[in-house]
A and B are shown apart, each in its own frame.
Chain A
Amino acid sequence: MDDLNSRLLNPDTRRAAFEETVRLYGPRLYRHIRSMVLVHDDADDVLQETFLKAWSALDGFKGEAKVSTWLYRIATNECLSFLARQRSSVALDDTDVERTLTSDPYFDGDEIQVRLQQAIAALPEKQRLVFNMKYYEQMKYEEMSEILGTSVGALKASYHIAVKKIEGFFKEVD
């Protein structure tokens, strides 16, 4: 068990260690969440909820898993919950994705970037997760396997299929 894990499990050092955890993993988790929810304000809400859930669940964290893996799992679940709530209120199509991205002051992408996000948004959620974690976060399949609870072989296949779909989306638009 590393030093941060043990300090998180100790009630006397827990609070300071948790603040350090937010500082350490905040940027990576934000990137993970933002690639799923697209808009900065939504990503900020989901990220804070992720850390609040993590704090509440610290008693259940035995320190056996890596802190990063544990946090990624919580963040992923929070993303999926957010998307489910969003889907129940409004269904996003390609035009909505474009409008959402271009109206976000913290999106700085060109036409190709917008098109790529439209293609990614059209993927099933699990494929979307796998694609974003591999393509943007350049995460190893082994780490993705621990977070998502899916075999490495299935993740490779899922990423390959996602890439083919995105390539097809670009050809279709042209």
Chain B
Amino acid sequence: MTIQFNPDAPRCDAFKVPDRYFDALPARVMARIPEVAAEERTVRRPLWHVLRPYLSAAAVVAVVALGTKAIQQREPAAGYGMQTQSAAVVAEENIQQDELYSYLMVDDHNLYPYSDEQ
């Protein structure tokens, strides 16, 4: 007898499955998926998201510290400038005093004690 293949003939499904195979399938598959995996998935965040608040706080502290240090470095320099300026004023006054004594043609050594007393 000649057997011909007819692609339009009704299909015969020769592939069978055990009883209630598809009923049990979801439970069998889900049993192989750990519960923890789902929980971890919900809380897992990129490392950048976890570190961002700490990095922000560290950046603020660093800016404040650097600013404070810069101000502290500037203040002593300003104080030294004032001292330098005072010394210059004193030196200028001494020169004027010397010129005055020279003009009066008086003995410097005699007048200096008086000027110090004044």
Contacts and interface: CB of A to CB of B under 8 A. Distances in A.
B38 A113 contact: no
A163 interface: yes
A110 B3 CA distance: 13
Contacts of A55: 33, 37
A142 interface: no
Interface string A42-53: 001001100110
- Give the most central of A51, A110, A135: most B CB within 10 Å: A51
A108 B5 contact: no
A18 interface: yes
Nearest to B25: A26
A48 B5 contact: no
Given A135-B7, A169-B5, 19 more contacts: A12-B42, A15-B33, A19-B29, A19-B30, A20-B26, A22-B29, A26-B25, A26-B26, A27-B22, A31-B15, A40-B17, A106-B17, A107-B15, A108-B16, A112-B3, A113-B12, A115-B3, A163-B5, A167-B5
A148 interface: no
A11 B41 contact: yes
B30 A170 contact: no
Contacts, number: 86
B22 A135 contact: no
Interface residue range, chain A: 35 or more
Contacts of A14: 38, 41
B26 A19 contact: yes
Nearest to A27: B22
A26 B14 contact: no
Contact of B11 (A18, A115, A135, A166): A135
Interface string B16-50: 11100110011011101101011001100000000
A132 to B, nearest CB: 11
Contacts of B56: none
Nearest to A173: B3
A15 B26 CA distance: 11
Given A170-B5, A174-B2, A22 B17 contact: no
Interface residues of B, number: 27
Interface in A1-49: 11-12, 14-15, 18-20, 22-23, 26-27, 30-31, 34-35, 40, 44, 47-48
A11 B42 contact: yes
B12 A15 contact: no
Interface in A105-122: 106-110, 112-113, 115-117, 119
A153 to B, nearest CB: 19
Given A167-B5, A174-B2, A136 B11 contact: yes
Interface string A156-174: 0000000100110111011
Nearest to A54: B29
